[in-house]
């Protein structure tokens, strides 16, 4: 379904033909992210991503932006735990120019000392912004609780201390090590010719030395007792994130976990949304999330609540997690969850950007893209009993991890810890 070619220098090119579309989405994926970093260089992947936009050996920063935006397109980038991606969406007739710009950014970044110092200040302001956004920041804190002293528990943007000590030599060495063809996937979705795409990539970077794929430190996914951390801070709400170690991306029960997510907190008809928000009015923001990595994963629940109602909300959340383990999911609720999950997947693949992101990440992280028909068949084979088994395996009380930000008094902290350990 998805044509794929590996060049002689091990760079992979994959495409999703969508001949009916007017736009093309292009992405350059690099296997470089937070989990590849040391504590000393925490944030270097994100730092380097910023610098990709500051100019190359042949283009200034302004020329990079004008080259895409002047064609009616938009470009961006992100750094994640296991990948960095530079991407753009443009009218299809401008795909070749856009790809040339993205490859130039990825393989020929200028990395000037002046740019590095200016961007350091920008990133320090970005970190401060996250510190002032507890809904986001509590997710980072949860990572430190779930994976202490491990790269998965470090902040993607780094800390003010780590970003302050990263030097040009560190960034250049990291770039040479990770931004190599063997570590890169070029993905495209839209009305593209795979043959022409491969020819252009080969002409631009086909002669570069392959380099070597980089390894990461595997995560320990088990724990013997609940863990938690509370950051006492004056905020308008108390923000909490509850997490459990879960399955890696390619685990045979991953679709059971996906359906559990939909049932518990994946949409407005989910149990947590209904019980916490609709029935009790305890929160505006309440839902569940899944973190998927190569060797591990996490199932999380997050909410923002009034300070005085935090303990009550936490009790309701834990009650719902117990209930899904003890009582079978009804047929109607299960069918709605399955239809929602498969429907959202189909809707996602209608968009060129989302389609490119899906095939690019899958190829980079797993080395393959599962055919849509196979995924739908796998989801159809999941039963309500499978969801119950997944809930019992993942949502064990001893595996609870909780991060909280807010002005919790000592008595509230003790109550929260008791609930976490005994409820």
- DSSP for residue 21: -
The catalytic residue among 6, 22, 49, 82 is: 49
Of the candidates 116, 128, 107, the one whose C-alpha atom is nearest the C-alpha of residue 44 is 116
β-pair partners for 241: 302, 403
CA dist., res. 92 & res. 186, Å (int): 16
- Structure token digits, residue 91: 């009218």
CA dist., res. 125 & res. 70, Å (int): 29
The distance from CA 136 to its chain's CA centroid, rounded to whole angstroms, is: 13
Q: What are phi and psi of 202, to 5 degrees?
A: -65, -40
Is 49 marked active-site?
Answer: yes
* Distance spanning both ends of the chain, measured CA to CA: 48
Asked if 334 and 384 count as a contact pair (C-beta separation under 8 A), the reply is yes
Q: Which single residue is written with the structure tokens 């796998």?
A: 378
CA dist., res. 233 & res. 131, Å (int): 11
CA dist., res. 333 & res. 345, Å (int): 19
- Structure token digits, residue 360: 């690019």
CA dist., res. 172 & res. 166, Å (int): 11
- Would strands 12-17 and 74-79 be described as parallel, antiparallel, or unpaired? unpaired
Give the other-Cβ count within 10 Å of 321's Cβ: 24
CA dist., res. 248 & res. 219, Å (int): 11
What are the C-alpha distances in Å from 67 to residues 64, 70, 88, 357? 5, 6, 11, 22
List active site positions.
49
């Amino acid at each position: 379904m998805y044509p794929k070619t590996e060049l002689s220098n091990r760079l992979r090119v994959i495409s999703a033909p969508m001949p009916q579309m007017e736009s093309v989405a292009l992405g350059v994926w690099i296997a470089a992210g937070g989990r590849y970093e040391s504590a000393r260089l925490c944030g270097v992947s994100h730092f380097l991503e910023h610098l990709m936009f500051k100019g190359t050996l042949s283009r200034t920063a302004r020329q990079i932006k004008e080259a895409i935006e002047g064609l009616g397109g938009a470009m961006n980038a992100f750094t994640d735990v296991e990948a960095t991606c530079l991407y753009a969406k443009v009218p299809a007739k401008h795909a070749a120019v856009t790809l040339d710009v993205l490859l130039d950014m990825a393989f020929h970044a200028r990395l000037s000392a002046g740019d590095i110092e200016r961007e350091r200040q920008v990133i320090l302001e970005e970190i401060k912004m996250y510190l002032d956004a507890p809904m986001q920041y509590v997710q980072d804190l949860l990572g430190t609780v779930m994976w202490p002293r491990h790269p998965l528990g470090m902040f993607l943007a780094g800390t003010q201390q780590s970003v302050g000590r990263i030097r040009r030599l560190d960034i250049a060495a990291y770039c040479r090590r990770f931004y190599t063809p063997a570590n890169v996937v070029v993905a495209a979705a839209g009305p593209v010719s795979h043959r022409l795409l491969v020819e252009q990539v080969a002409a631009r970077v086909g002669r570069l030395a392959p380099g070597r794929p980089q390894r990461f430190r595997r995560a320990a996914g088990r724990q013997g007792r609940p863990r938690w951390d509370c950051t006492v801070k004056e905020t308008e709400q108390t923000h909490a994130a509850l997490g459990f170690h879960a399955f890696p991306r390619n685990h045979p029960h991953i679709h059971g976990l996906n359906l559990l997510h939909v049932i518990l907190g994946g949409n407005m008809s989910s149990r947590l949304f209904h019980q916490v928000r609709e029935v009790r009015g305890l929160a505006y923001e309440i839902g569940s999330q899944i973190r998927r990595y190569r060797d591990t994963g996490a199932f999380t629940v997050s909410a923002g609540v009034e300070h005085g109602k935090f303990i009550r909300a936490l009790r309701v959340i834990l009650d719902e997690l117990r209930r899904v383990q003890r009582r079978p999911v009804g047929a109607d609720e299960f069918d709605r969850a399955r239809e929602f999950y498969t429907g959202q997947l189909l809707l996602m693949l209608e968009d060129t950007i989302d389609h490119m992101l899906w095939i690019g990440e899958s190829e980079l992280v797993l080395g393959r893209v599962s055919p849509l028909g196979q995924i739908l068949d796998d989801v159809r084979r999941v039963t309500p009993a499978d969801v119950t088994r997944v809930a019992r395996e993942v949502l064990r009380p001893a595996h609870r991890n909780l991060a909280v930000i807010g002005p919790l008094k000592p008595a509230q902290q003790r109550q929260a810890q008791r609930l976490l350990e005994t409820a």
